[in-house]
Amino acid sequence: MGSFFVILINIRYEVNMGKHYFSEEQQQKLRNNPLIKKISEKAITYTQEFKERFSEEYKSGKLPSEILRGMGIDPRILGKSRVSNISSRVKANDWMGYTKLDRFLKVI
């Protein structure tokens, strides 16, 4: 009984701390997408094509989840935090005048 309680605390701690790790199955699914440059248990890196395409579609008024689905990426795999971070980085880079988005979307 004591071990079970400890496991629940650890799971809750990870959820509360906002950690979202990719399973092997999720990593493989994302790895098969040509718009994903690199994927690990904890991090995802997007290609320049992804960055530019996401930015253009976001600026045209599409929702982030709609854009991701159109690119063959299930937003539920990324999680709300990563999807939100993508949008925030697009806004930050656009507001700062970056057009190539060189420093964009290295999600850790």
20 within 8 A of 81, measured Cβ to Cβ = yes
State residue 89's pLDDT score. Answer: 87
Q: Whole-angstrom distance between the N-terminal and C-terminal Cα of the chain? A: 35
State residue 60's pLDDT score. Answer: 93
Q: What would the pLDDT profile of 30-82 be if each residue is shown by its tens digit?
A: 999 999 999 999 999 999 899 999 999 998 999 999 999 999 999 999 999 99
Express as a percent the part of the chain with pLDDT over 70: 69
- The region, left, alpha or beta by phi > 0 then psi within -120 to 50, assigned to residue 88 is alpha
Residue indicated by tokens 């999600």: 107
> CA-CA distance, 15 to 108, in Å (whole number)?
16
State residue 71's pLDDT score. Answer: 97
Express as a percent the part of the chain with pLDDT over 90: 57
Token representation of residue 100: 């190539």
Give residues with Cβ within 8 angstroms of 89, minimum separation 6: 104, 105
Confidence of residue 105 (pLDDT cuts 50, 70, 90): low
Q: What would the pLDDT profile of 94-103 be if each residue is shown by its tens digit?
A: 644 555 455 5
44 within 8 A of 87, measured Cβ to Cβ = no
Helix 80-95 vs helix 48-59: crossing angle, to nearest 10:
80
